[in-house]
Amino acid sequence: MVGEQHYSDMFQALPTPCVVVLPNAPHFTVINVSDAYLEITDVRREDMIDKGFFEVFPTNPYQNDTIWRNVFDEVIQSKKTCRVPPQKYAFPTADVPARLDVMYLEVVNTLVFVEKGEIKFIIRSMTDVTDTVYNDNFFEETQRTARKGRWEVNMVFQTVDWSEGRRCI
């Protein structure tokens, strides 16, 4: 028989960093955290469980807590999964805590419901898109430097998208 421990073990083994929070605004109490999430944030499990999300992560030099509070509030009000575009994050490194490891992460807040549409908890998962962001930025910078660019036509919406490099020519 598959039991609760089985599901807990599966959650811990997920390669995607995930944290589970209660929808108890404004605290958003952390009730579970995956090993991958602990690794990426360099926070200990006992320092997260049963604490408010913003208590555990009080500041990020690249983010404003108000933005994340608003995202959590929007998820609760809309009762829909919310994908946040890649954002810049800074985490202390394990070897030199005063040094920060900068990453770009795409965050998805997925709701889990109980009966009658009531939100049971929010699963916050993160995908590291740092390489993609750096590659896109490098590509744009290369086009701008070379005074080259690109353009695309969207036939469905009848729009033309010009890259920054093409606009400067």
* pLDDT of amino acid 130: 79
Residue with the bigger pLDDT between 66 and 122: it is 122
Q: pLDDT by residue (tens digit) across 49-92?
A: 999 988 887 666 666 667 778 888 889 999 998 888 887 777 66
4-128 CATH choice from 3.40.50.720, 3.30.420.10, 3.30.450.20, 3.50.50.60? 3.30.450.20
Distance CA 11, CA 28 (A): 19
pTM value? 0.69
Q: What is the mean pLDDT of residues 127-147?
A: 64
Overall residue count recorded for the chain in this entry: 169
Domain boundaries, the chain: 4-128
Tens digits of residue pLDDT in 6-47 = 888 888 888 899 999 999 988 899 999 999 998 887 788 999
